[in-house]
Amino acid sequence: MHVRFETPHQYVFIHENVKHLLLVWSKDSKKQLFIAEDEEDALVLRYPGEVYTETVLEQVEPVFFLDLEGGVEAVLGATFYHQGRLIGMYYDKKNPSGPPYFFEIEKGSPEEIPDEEYQEVVKTFAEEFPEYVAEKPEA
């Protein structure tokens, strides 16, 4: 079974180790958030309630979409912790299977990760989410 939404704006992302589906209804400027659970060959959506939705959206909305150099529109794919710091993994909205981008999320704002730490962040992501990494990251 395939489900299609009337909106072209649906995003699956992981936050606090929970997979979510965010639907953005541009017509009504409304957002809906669901917890997405994998069950066999299906993605089961569960509405988590208003308080949960408001809490998660408050945490991720300010950093969900980024405009990067070169005209890249990046979308939050996952959050995870590296050495006690919150990191966001982003993907190119137009090329989701392309290389990911990583930023530290500090005080609700994405910050660049120093070059000398970047590979360690990539390695942590690969360890946390091996199902999303096609090959081992290069050292």
Show me where the domains of the chain are located: 10-132
Under a CB-based contact definition with an 8 Å cutoff, are residues 136 and 126 in contact? yes
41-45, 87-91, 104-108: range with lowest mean pLDDT? 41-45
> What is the rounded average pLDDT for all residues in the chain?
88
Q: What pLDDT is attached to residue 28? A: 67
Distance (Å, whole) CA 80 – CA 124: 9
Residue 99, both tokens: 């290389």
Residue 1 predicted with pLDDT over 60? no
Distance (Å, whole) CA 133 – CA 139: 14
pTM: 0.85
Strand runs (DSSP E) across the chain, as ranges?
10-15, 18-25, 30-39, 42-46, 65-68, 72-82, 85-92, 101-106, 109-111
SS3 137: coil
72-76, 94-98, 135-139: range with lowest mean pLDDT? 135-139
Q: To the nearest whole percent, how much of the chain has pLDDT over 70?
A: 88
For the stretch 5-59, pLDDT in tens is 555 688 999 999 999 999 988 776 789 999 999 888 888 999 999 999 999 999 9
Distance (Å, whole) CA 12 – CA 36: 8
